[in-house]
Amino acid sequence: ETGVTQTPRHLVMGMTNKKSLKCEQHLGHNAMYWYKQSAKKPLELMFVYSLEERVENNSVPSRFSPECPNSSHLFLHLHTLQPEDSALYLCASSQDPASGGHEQYFGPGTRLTVT
């Protein structure tokens, strides 16, 4: 595997379900990101992890819970979601974000549908 991978690619869940999205990067980066991409809206940064510590949380509802067990893996745990949470969830990674200038590499995304 190369680059950034995400599983599953598609997920349909009910509002009472609990599921997790997985992201893995094979680039040796030390920062990972979760973004939400909804139709007609700009890409929204949800969480940033640098060196496995959360450094950014953009007022995301608590029904989204991130986990970063090591610098290569990132999870997004989902529970009691709402229909408006249906979107494409993108994972990205980069080198040391604090100094800036480092491009982010994106996975293919998980298309989430909440019914």
Partner 1 sequence: AQSVTQLGSHVSVSEGALVLLRCNYSSSVPPYLFWYVQYPNQGLQLLLKYTSAATLVKGINGFEAEFKKSETSFHLTKPSAHMSDAAEYFCAVSERNYGQNFVFGPGTRLSVLP
β-strand pairing of 105-106 with 87-94: antiparallel
34 touching partner 1, by CB under 8 A: no
* 3-state percent breakdown (helix, strand, coil) of the chain, nearest 5: 5, 55, 40
Query: Which of 28, 42, 69, 83 forms a contact with partner 1 (CB under 8 A)?
Result: 42
Closest to 84 in 3D by CA, of 114, 47, 57, 64: 114
Per CB under 8 A, 27 contacts partner 1: no
* By the rule CB under 8 A, 102 interacts with partner 1: yes
Task: Show Cβ contacts of residue 62 under 8 Å, excluding neighbours closer than 6 positions.
Answer: none
Check binding of 48 to partner 1 (CB under 8 A). Answer: yes
Coil, strand, or helix at residue 84? helix
CB nearer to partner 1: pick between 84 and 103: 103
Nearer to partner 1, 41 or 70 (CB): 41
**Residues near partner 1, by CB under 8 A:** 4, 6, 31, 33, 41-43, 45, 48, 50, 55-56, 90, 92, 94, 96-109, 111
